[in-house]
Chains A and B, each alone.
Chain A
Amino acid sequence: QKEVEQNSGPLSVPEGAIASLNCTYSDRGSQSFFWYRQYSGKSPELIMSIYSNGDKEDGRFTAQLNKASQYVSLLIRDSQPSDSATYLCAVNRRRRALTFGSGTRLQVQP
């Protein structure tokens, strides 16, 4: 079992729709959770971090965390073609290196 699992996609949504990206993790001791966006040929860019159960909103992005289910998600509202990228879920125990999932490729169709 991989430590962090994501559906590789591609996830295709029409412009203006809500994109829902999911991630599960195996280490119950994980304390920090992150979503990064990576465009092709570029390095990851931090979108959001979340540390406690529930929802956290930042602009068009909402991260959701459920530690009991070991589940993290990212919602992107009003998806734009510029959101087309690979989205990486990352988790870690305190002060350790991040463990990344393999990423979900999102395609937003104009």
Chain B
Amino acid sequence: GAVVSQHPSWVICKSGTSVKIECRSLDFQATTMFWYRQFPKQSLMLMATSNEGSKATYEQGVEKDKFLINHASLTLSTLTVTSAHPEDSSFYICSARGAGTTTDTQYFGPGTRLTVL
């Protein structure tokens, strides 16, 4: 149980384009989803927290207009990197928590590796 999927697993795009990453909870309803970013040899950095049906809460220093987050249903959240640039190249990982999972436990998706040329 508590499986989270992400799509795509990797993406290469040109500078200036937008990329959408999907995060799905497959066997539980995720009332809260989290988006993290991880650069090589660094720890996970929380970007934003999204609750179903409400606006995402962004961490300090994360541009909300650049990283658009939508959590329209209890099983799907999307992260759109708008006008991507090479410095946005990173490993993006979502996690989900909600009804049907152990309290406070976050289950992670497999991650999406973004490369911006």
Contacts and interface: CB of A to CB of B under 8 A. Distances in A.
Interface string A34-74: 10100001111110010000000000000000000000000
Contact of A46 (B91, B107, B111, B113): B107
B59 to A, nearest CB: 9
Interface string B94-111: 010000001111111111
A interface, size bucket? 20 to 34
A88 B107 contact: no
Interface residues of B, number: 21
A95 interface: yes
A80 interface: no
B104 A88 contact: no
B110 A97 contact: no
B34 A102 contact: no
Contact of B46 (A32, A97, A101): A97
Contacts of A44: 44, 93, 108
Nearest to A2: B43
Nearest to B31: A95
Interface in B66-117: 91, 93, 95, 102-111, 113
Contacts of A46: 105-108
Contacts of A28: none
A95 B104 contact: yes
B49 A88 contact: no
A100 interface: yes
B42 interface: yes
Given A44-B44, A100-B44, A32 B104 contact: yes
B89 to A, nearest CB: 14
Interface in B30-61: 32, 34, 42-44, 46, 49
A45 B106 CA distance: 10
Given A43-B110, A43-B111, A97-B34, A102 B104 contact: no
Given A42-B110, A42-B111, A43-B110, A88 B44 contact: yes
Contact of B43 (A92, A95, A101): A101
A49 B107 CA distance: 12
